[in-house]
Chain A
Amino acid sequence: MQSIILKTATRLMVGLMLVFAVYLLLRGHHEPGGGFVAALVSGTAFALFAITEGPAQLRRAIRVRPSVIAMTGLAVAAAAGFPALFAGMPYLTGIWWKIGEISLGTPLIFDVGVFLAVLGAIVSLLLALEEN
């Protein structure tokens, strides 16, 4: 789309939205937020980018094939279930570790997986629609 206003605004917004997505992803640890919303926000950022710069540019910008992103996400989410097995608990049980002041756990890994899976799905749909 040819619009200087949109183009300039997008250049500013994409970075901002991606950072906000990461914030949402990490906030989902204890507060409302999480992988899915984060993926939607970053998906919106990519949609804006695809509208202004075209789908070919988007493909070049993300470098990796979207289906690979989605599959990596699924693999990460599935892998997040395994540490529980070593602790003798059922698959997907949350395991927490204390690192200094912060407690990190497998739910965070799972959330990152969800983020990547949803992002990959959104981007591949977006490209399918834009390239039609």
Chain B
Amino acid sequence: MNLLLILPILLPMVMAMISVLTGLDRARSGMLAVFGALLHLCASGFLLATVVDHQVLVLWMGNWPAPAGICLVADYLSAAMVLITSVIYLAVMVYSGKEITPHQRRSGYYPLMQFLTAAICGAFLTGDLFNLYVWFELILMASFGIMIMENPGSRLTSAVKYVTMNLLSTVFLIMAIGLIYGLTGTLNMADLHEKVAQVDNTALVTGAALLLMMAFAIKSALFPLFFWLPATYHTLPVPVAAFFAGMLTKVGVYALIRLFTLVFVTDVAVTHTLLMVMAVLTMVSGVAAAASQMDIRRILSFHIISQVGYMVLGLAVFTPLALAGTLVYLIHHIIVKANLFLVSGLIQRATGSFDLKQTGGLYQTHGLLSLGFFIPAFSLAGFPPLSGFWAKLLIIYACLEAGHYFLGATAAVVGLMTVFSMIKIWTEAFWKKKALPVDSPVEPLVDIPFQLMGPVLCLCLLTVLIGVFMEPVLKFALVAGEQLMSPHQYVLAVKGGG
């Protein structure tokens, strides 16, 4: 049963090794990737089911004694994140089969994506602060590799910015890890939960917490450290952009949630207030910047930023309900955002452009695609009964319940502004009459192959299902929120299991 914890990390790695060592051709390596993604989905589904049965699972790697060894821990939050990762991974792998050029495949697209997935799952599952850093670096390396696969000049400068920002955040991260180790003598997060409370020098603990917050704020694109994100994402190939947009910033959000519920709860007045301020500014600045854009993928990139603000707001309010809202928001957002990026690729295929001014008339020519855009876009904007409505409702309700009326009102207003952006894409790309023909290198497609449309529609279905059957999801999220607020279960499982 404990083997289950290593599977989400090991499976993609094994798949990567197979695809490099055997040197498969295009069709076969795509098939292998889809097969690997299916296995991964089974493993993480099974992991989630086991976690629901046992609450918290712990695996001590290499059987070293606690707390010196490195452990993998899966509680409700981690298991849910791993499952959602494998859903997106599967959708992106199916989509990639038709989208990836032979050159990209030869530069190691599939192995790099598999490593990226392994590293993301590792970050979700680890119970050790230093190990978290290692997984983050692996995520970075894999994403760098993917980013420069095909290198037009525009992508190189954004890649340099991305690398520089992330290396800077690494510097903060190592510095904070060093401080924490110097203060407590441990890096196991469950152990830290107890030891941090005993440190006399509370100012230094808060300092370390703020350094960590900066490190993960860069990774999750919080205000004012988000500028690398819109500079990067719109230059990537479509499936890569979908996977990055869905997962990468959310790993940062996950790390913030884990650290600021489990470890740094000694000085909530400073840390969580700061998070709250950053969350609000992130929400507002992201959505405001999106309003001025005319490129679909730039609009979507700026919306990632404002949505991350919602999630961090849930963490900052710091009640079980708010944390449950954050988890629902994470699940909703990852599905919807990855889906929207996939759809943006289809819009480009259908009209030849990502620029809204040059698109139009899709509602008449591509009915199914319109549906495929409509559902995630208006879920993102928070229309009932789609998943986004419940996610926003939970966050706003939690804000109001905790007495943060201003925050609740801001979240609602930002939701309205999201509607504005989504309606802009809808009217420009779908309702407006087709603009003058564009001289684009991509020949407009009338029929979109099923291999591209299938993942989009499946993710749409998932969005609708989560919205309609909210009750079990909400129950799950509430348990997860309770687990995060009072981590004694987690601590007991880790410390007792050594």
**Do the two chains belong together in a single complex?**
yes
A residues apposed to B, CB below 8 Å = 67-68, 71-72, 74-75, 78, 84-85, 89-94
| Binary A-proximity of B1-39 (CB < 8 A = 1, otherwise 0) | 011001000100110110011000000000000000000
The complex places the Cα of A103 from the Cα of B14 at a distance, in Å, of 29
What are the residues of chain B within 8 A of A89 when measuring CB–CB? 63
> B: which residues have CB within 8 A of A?
2-3, 6, 10, 13-14, 16-17, 20-21, 59-63, 108, 111
The 3 A-B residue pairs whose C-beta atoms are closest, nearest first, are A93-B63, A92-B62, A71-B20
- Is A91 a contact of B17 with CB atoms below 8 Å? no
Taking the closest CB of chain B, its distance from the CB of A25, in whole angstroms, is 20
Is the CB–CB distance between B62 and A74 below 8 Å? no
Asked if B20 and A91 sit within 8 Å, CB to CB, the answer is no
| Pair B63/A84 contact, Cβ less than 8 Å | yes
CB-CB under 8 A from A84, the residues of chain B are 62-63
* Nearest CB on B from A34, distance (A): 16
Q: Which of A75, A90, A92, A94 has the most CB of B within 10 A?
A: A90
Out of A75, A85, A92, A94, name the residue touching B17 (CB < 8 Å): A75
The answer to whether residues A93 and B21 also contact, given A74-B13, A78-B10, A85-B3 and a CB cut-off of 8 A, is no
Interface SS of A by simple majority: helix
Cα(A74)–Cα(B21), bound, Å: 11
CB distance from A65 to the nearest CB of B (A): 9
C-alpha spacing A90/B108, complex, angstroms: 32
Known: A71-B16, A74-B13. A91 touches B21 (CB 8 A): no
CB of B10 within 8 A of CB of A72, answer: no
Taking a contact as CB atoms under 8 Å apart, the answer to whether A68 and B61 are in contact is no
CB distance from B475 to the nearest CB of A (A): 32
The answer to whether B16 touches A91 (Cβ under 8 A) is: no
14 sampled A-B residue pairs with Cβ under 8 A: A67-B108, A68-B21, A74-B17, A75-B14, A75-B17, A78-B17, A84-B62, A85-B3, A90-B2, A90-B63, A91-B3, A92-B61, A93-B63, A94-B62
Contact of B61 among A71, A74, A91 (CB under 8 A): A91
- In addition to A71-B21, A78-B13, 20 A-B residue pairs with Cβ atoms within 8 Å of each other are A67-B20, A71-B16, A71-B111, A72-B21, A74-B13, A74-B17, A75-B17, A78-B14, A84-B62, A89-B63, A90-B59, A90-B60, A91-B61, A91-B62, A92-B61, A92-B62, A92-B63, A93-B62, A93-B63, A94-B62
User: Given the complex of chains A and B, what is the CA–CA distance between A85 and B62 in angstroms?
Assistant: 10
Task: Provide the residues of chain A in CB contact with B61, threshold 8 Å.
Answer: 90-92
Q: Which residues of A contact B108 (CB under 8 A)?
A: 67
Q: For residue A75, which residues in chain B have a CB less than 8 angstroms away from its CB?
A: 14, 17, 21
CB distance from B497 to the nearest CB of A (A): 10
With both beta carbons as reference points, the residue of chain B lying nearest to A110 in the complex is identified as B62
